[in-house]
Amino acid sequence: MAGSGGLGGGAGGGQGAGAGQGAALRVPRAPLLLAALVLGAYCLCALPGRCPPAARAPVPAPAPAEPLRAVGPRGAPGLPVASGPGRRRFPQALIVGVKKGGTRALLEFLRLHPDVRALGSEPHFFDRSLMPRTLDGQITLEKTPSYFVTREAPGRIHGMSPDTKLIVVVRNPVTRAISDYAQTLSKTPGLPSFRALAFRHGLGPVDTAWSAVRIGLYAQHLTNWLRLFPLSRFLFVSGERLVSDPAGEVGRVQDFLGLKRVVTDKHFYFNATKGFPCLKKAQGGSRPRCLGKSKGRPHPRVPEAVVRRLRDFYRPFNRRFYQMTGQDFGWD
């Protein structure tokens, strides 16, 4: 028993000494362990979905963007400006059509005017963030020629501003269709012939489903617009006269927009190679400038019989268009 007790006492004494040393060693470990636990819990809570909602600080929602505001005629409130002079506005005037009618030429000519600010690209339905900044007294102008033939466009534009001024550049629909085809052919070699696309079954009925033909039905497209806009909101520009007398046609546009006639004969010269008027001094430059290579490209040869058939087809539509606009464009 004594031996046992001595053994027990020795063990107890050794254990006591070990415990004292161990305690001395474990004292600094406790704060470290606690710190490790706290750090581990923090790291776990940093992972998405690992902490209850109450354990995470709420993330403040981003402030809502200030809504875009429509504007009316010049001088009406526009969008707030973060920096730079002027403000972004809905366009007060639109060149709504037509494709291959001369819309790009008209836009470039008008950009010479100091009171016209125009977007070079075609934003399609008023991306106001792309609009140039304008000062009071300047006009924001946009050109998207697909508007005139898009059924929904009048309603959307009227909803934006029923006072918008609408400019339509029109051209002989037969020549316009051939020009449209030439542009497509330049991008898609191997396209079927103009005749094959314009008519069904040889020289059968004209295929109005083909966009190159359908765009030239100006009277039908205008009917869609006149349901919402009075004729007084429109100016119809002759694509032919824009070539033969650019200063005269641009003068009419400046009058329509309420602008002083700043762009005049002195700004143009006729380029015989392109068969098109060019600018003696482009905006922001000192050199004469013509439109790009895609403008004034040669047209493919179309048989006279095909041209004659198309003239006959368009004639009643053209005459109706003359009556609707009060202008004879001389296409017949």
* Cβ pair 194, 151 in contact under 8 A: no
Task: Give residue-wise pLDDT tens across range 203-259.
Answer: 889 999 999 999 999 999 999 999 999 999 999 999 999 999 999 999 999 999 999
The model's pTM:
0.71
| pLDDT band, very low/low/confident/very high, at 101 (cuts 50, 70, 90) | very high
Question: What does the alpha-carbon distance between residue 316 and residue 321 come to, in Å, rounded to a whole number?
Answer: 9
> Residue 271 corresponds to which tokens in the numbers above?
């380029």
Q: Does 64 have pLDDT greater than 90?
A: no
Question: What does the alpha-carbon distance between residue 119 and residue 111 come to, in Å, rounded to a whole number?
Answer: 9
Q: Does 268 have pLDDT greater than 90?
A: yes
Task: Give residue-wise pLDDT tens across range 80-98.
Answer: 333 457 777 788 999 999 9
Question: What does the alpha-carbon distance between residue 297 and residue 281 come to, in Å, rounded to a whole number?
Answer: 22
Spatial CA neighbour of 164 closest among 69, 229, 102: 229
Residues with Cβ within 8 Å of 157's Cβ and at least 6 positions away in sequence, in order, are 94, 96, 147, 164, 166
